[in-house]
Structure 1
Amino acid sequence: MISKLSVSCTTFNILAPIYKRLSEKDQSCRESQYRGYWLSRNERIIDRLLGDRSSIICLQEVWMGNEELVDMYEKRLGDAGYISFKLPRTNNRGDGLLTAVRRDCFTIIDYREMLFNDLGDRVAQLLRVESVVPLWQGCSSSINVQIIIVNTHLLFPHDASLCIVRLQQVYKILQSIETYQKENDLSPIPIILCGDWNGSKRGQVYKFLISQGFVSSYDAAHHYTDSDADCHRWVSHRNHHGNICGVDFIWLLNPNNSRKPLRTSWKESAFAIIKVNNLSQTLRLRTEKVLHKGISLTICSLLFQYLLQAASLSEENAFAFLKADSPGDYITYPGFCQALHQLGLTGHRDGLIPEDAKDLWTEADIDGNGMVDHEEFQQRIWCPSPTWSEHPQESIELGTEWGSNTAKPVALGFSVKDAVLFPPEVEEGMWPENYSLSDHAPLTVVFSPVNLSFSPQSF
């Protein structure tokens, strides 16, 4: 029988006082300047967290630059039976992450830190925990389940070029998890990713994680899909521009979920971002040319809207942009690299490194002749096929131990029992004006243990 015990997890960007603006007119006026304000708000945040008493708490934007605030979180959570781990962002950015785990639910087996000095000064925490009591009890055995938990906060996409940085951050997290499992010769165990992903269900990070077998817990609980109709059903953030969107996720990966090879998924997502940036660049250049000809801004705006509507007809323009000064009807590697630079995807510390650009080029140049013709462009860059050839050496064989050729059945995973956002209005896609805890809504998910045992031959 399966134990009636469940596992709950809360993720919450608590909005660091150094970022909380108190006046629209004076952007320099921040909550961090007024101790009474930030102290009261964070006390209320902790009250709510302790009221929920989730098994796992993942916080982002904790004001690491203020010892009093950090000590308050550690003491109050510690007194309530939690063990906590804190991690400031690199280069003294002022905020960071805090992950707390209830001692009566889990013991900590390992804790690792991921420092993205080269990727937007972001960080991530990895914890491997084991349940204190068995979550699975059979006739002759019981299992204390292990879980990998990751807490992170991705870069805010201030412009389109930073979308590739966020994709790189997620790729680095998944690569680190994969390496960690291999180094420790772990059998596949459930993985829970928590945090502020600074991107919606429409973005490539969401699609990348889906391709890796992860499930958005809130969407699963409410039977939402990634369709346009479901994209705006819930929100979790009102950003500094006043826009509301859903960016806070708790992702679940069960050991038996099918996955594409990691690098294959990354390439597909990267090319999709290049395609979007390519269109944006083409439209911007066209608009600039119109302005240079002295046409009014009103007409220019109308033209821009028209070009957006006609974006599906811009494949030839995109090919010409990548082709650059090539004498023939094909794209060369120097021209490809030049286009990546013009799109803002390379040439800065947070962009693609030369090895990444070369990897993308190799994938696009199907026949390996050093040139990408229009057919290869159309197949690999413009409309990449979801069934690219997968490299066997990158594959993860389901139901087997890492570093072992002997198949063993997976014993336990989780199903999403419930998922709740607070305040309740955000579940209807609205942001209440009287909500003052943060500019994010806390998300709490309850997981139930399920038997995932299977015969490897069934796959």
Structure 2
Amino acid sequence: MTKKQRREAGARRQQQARQRLRPPPLLQARDERSVSCTTFNILAPIYKRMDSENGRESQNRANWFSRNEKIIDRLLGDRSSIICLQEVWLGNDELVNMYEKRLGDANYTLFKLARTNNRGDGLLTAVHRNYFCVLNHRELLFNDFGDRVAQLLHVESAIPFLQNRSSSYVQQQSLIVNTHLVFPHDHSLSIVRLKQVYKILQYIEAYQEEHKLGPMPIILCGDWNGSKRGQVYKFLRSQGFVSSYDTAHQYSDSEEDAHKWVSHRNHRGNICGVDFIWLLNPDKCRKPLKTSWNEAVFGIIKYLLLQVASLPEENAFALLKADSSDDRITYSSFCQALCQVRNGPPRSCKF
């Protein structure tokens, strides 16, 4: 082999090596490399109040049909990889067919889950087939106050991604959760909302153990019915989750950044930021789930003692007096103390 032939052979080998490392053509476009997510409480027509005569939008087909057509137009225009909707009027076949037809035609795979006890609305999660294939799908029924539910999707990227520390491409697996927590009508529901999030994280842990899954990205979407100042937010932060919107805008967990954005006007007329897309990266160090749960529960109790019972901070837990010589409080005394704080019987004393 001449020197020229050796140079040409070497050049061919280098070119072949570069081609092996080159991502597939679909990955070249910037929009296909990015994964986007939309969470949206679309306000079910059975709950949307009309200005006249205290009626509901569900009584006027033209109104709810037009509004939901515009919602779908916006969703298709955004073309998110993942769409998580809450308060979808699943009790109306025409509306459901509208979402299934238009999102399905746009290459989305859809999953629906109605709230328990025939509440009429529920969740809808849509995943774009260009980005993900769905490996598994589970339904989580909380079976507690408010008939709330959650969806879990186990997905795999449809296009390979380059691993950070290697030259190989992998199809990344992830877990996606869509939920809508109960509204905090009063302080007693704070523990219920926290328990709903705890159930979600417990279920995720159990699912990963059942299927022998390693660390992977976890995305939690939905209407959390609580702001950055609440215990649910602090609980998820203690578990290593980050709010994607706050991260993108470089907002901190400080009090001054607690109300930098608004996502919702609730039925009381208050504007607030309660819709979150939480992300947990697989390399994030996490506290034991039980530790975060205990901290959050005592945070709620302390808030009730300080704000509701008007106790000074240095004496916040004085109401929980020990009733035995070894400085412990019994379960019945603990519940009795909480009843005093709430000025009424508790819905539940289960922690």
Please tell me the TM-score bracket, short chain as reference. Answer: 0.7 to 0.9
Q: CA deviation at 1:332?
A: 2.4
CA distance in 2, matches of 1:74, 1:257: 36
Report the RMSD for the aligned CA atoms in angstroms.
2.2
CA distance in 1, matches of 2:349, 2:162: 44
1:320-377 Cα offsets, whole Å, 9 max, x none, are 43228x48895621321212344459843xx342xx3xxxxxxxxxxxxxxxxxxxxx
Q: CA deviation at 1:119?
A: 4.2
Which residue of the partner structure matches residue 107 of structure 1? Answer: 133
Which residue of the partner structure matches residue 441 of structure 1? Answer: none
Which residue of the partner structure matches residue 66 of structure 1? Answer: 92
Given the two structures, how large is their TM-score scaled by the length of structure 2? Answer: 0.86
Q: CA deviation at 1:196?
A: 0.4
Matched, 1:172 2:199: yes
Flag the 1:197–1:277 CA change in 2: closer, same or farther, 3 A.
same
Which residue of the partner structure matches residue 18 of structure 1? Answer: 46
Identity of aligned residues (%): 67
Count of aligned positions: 320
Which residue of the partner structure matches residue 235 of structure 2? Answer: 208
Which residue of the partner structure matches residue 336 of structure 1? Answer: 334
* Contact 1:322–1:331 (Cα < 8 Å) also in 2: no
- Secondary structure of the residue aligned to 2:47 is coil
CA distance in 2, matches of 1:22, 1:140: 58
CA distance in 2, matches of 1:237, 1:213: 25
* Contact 2:76–2:103 (Cα < 8 Å) also in 1: yes
- Secondary structure of the residue aligned to 2:309 is helix
- Secondary structure of the residue aligned to 2:257 is coil
- Secondary structure of the residue aligned to 1:323 is coil
1:393-418 Cα offsets, whole Å, 9 max, x none, are xxxxxxxxxxxxxxxxxxxxxxxxxx
1:124-171 Cα offsets, whole Å, 9 max, x none, are 000011111102268763201111000000110000111111100000
**1:1-80 alignment to 2 at 5 Å?**
4=30, 5-23=33-51, 26-27=53-54, 29-80=55-106
* Contact 2:224–2:276 (Cα < 8 Å) also in 1: yes
For residue 223 of structure 2, what is the amino acid of its counterpart? D
1:3-44 Cα offsets, whole Å, 9 max, x none, are 651111110000011111112x744x1111101000000000
* Contact 1:119–1:168 (Cα < 8 Å) also in 2: no
| Range 171-180 or range 332-341, more displaced | 332-341
Q: CA deviation at 1:184?
A: 0.4
* Contact 1:107–1:129 (Cα < 8 Å) also in 2: yes
Larger Rg: 2
Which residue of the partner structure matches residue 190 of structure 1? Answer: 217
* Contact 1:161–1:343 (Cα < 8 Å) also in 2: no
CA distance in 1, matches of 2:112, 2:295: 34
Gaps of 5+ in 2: 1-20
CA distance in 1, matches of 2:173, 2:345: 39
For residue 222 of structure 2, what is the amino acid of its counterpart? G
For residue 295 of structure 2, what is the amino acid of its counterpart? E
Gaps of 5+ in 1: 284-310, 357-459
Which residue of the partner structure matches residue 122 of structure 1? Answer: 148
Q: Could you say which structure has the greater relative contact order, defined with CA pairs below 8 angstroms and 6 or more residues apart?
A: 1
**1:249-288 alignment to 2 at 5 Å?**
249-283=276-310
